């Protein structure tokens, strides 16, 4: 799975996906792009965009993209909070459909 980590996410999260091809927005040199441009580029090279930006799903149309958005809810943007959700994150990327939006942890 090709995963892009948004610039608002702790980049060390890459370590939580050892079996996947993971890059950050910074790795790609896409830091200065608007959300729309970023999503268009990401859809060409990645399967998943992982973010903590809760507004992104409401600002962009994901149904027309071949990209899955995973929105992670963590108390702090620090590794221990992501590590606690590692199994849920890995499970979330197992069965994806283009244009899908997944929240981790899932709402009950």
* Residues in contact with 25: Cβ distance below 8 Å, sequence separation at least 6, in sequence order: 4, 5, 6, 7, 31, 33, 38
Judged against a pLDDT cut of 60, whether residue 108 lies above it is answered with no
pLDDT tens by residue, 62-89: 777 889 999 999 999 999 999 999 999 9
Q: Which residue has the higher pLDDT, 90 or 107?
A: 90
* Residues in contact with 93: Cβ distance below 8 Å, sequence separation at least 6, in sequence order: 1, 3, 17, 20, 47, 48, 68, 70
pLDDT of residue 95: 79
pLDDT tens by residue, 26-52: 999 999 999 989 999 999 999 999 999
Sheet holding 2-5, edge to edge: 21-24, 2-5, 48-51, 68-72, 101-104
**End-to-end alpha carbon distance in the chain:** 26
pLDDT of residue 6: 97
Sorted by where each starts, the structural domains of the chain and their CATH numbers stand as 2-104 (3.40.50)
Per-residue pLDDT band for 13 (boundaries 50, 70, 90) equals very high
Predicted TM-score (pTM) of the model is 0.93
């Amino acid at each position: 799975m090709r995963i892009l980590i948004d610039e608002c996410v702790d980049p060390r999260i890459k370590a939580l996906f050892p079996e996947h091809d993971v890059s950050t927005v910074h790795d790609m040199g896409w830091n200065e792009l608007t959300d729309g441009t970023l999503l268009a580029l990401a859809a060409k090279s990645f399967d998943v965009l992982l973010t903590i930006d809760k507004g992104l799903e409401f600002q962009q149309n994901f149904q027309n993209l071949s990209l899955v958005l995973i929105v992670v809810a963590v108390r702090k943007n620090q590794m221990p909070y992501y590590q606690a959700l590692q199994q849920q994150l890995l499970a979330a990327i197992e069965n994806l459909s283009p244009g899908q939006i997944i929240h981790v942890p899932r709402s009950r």
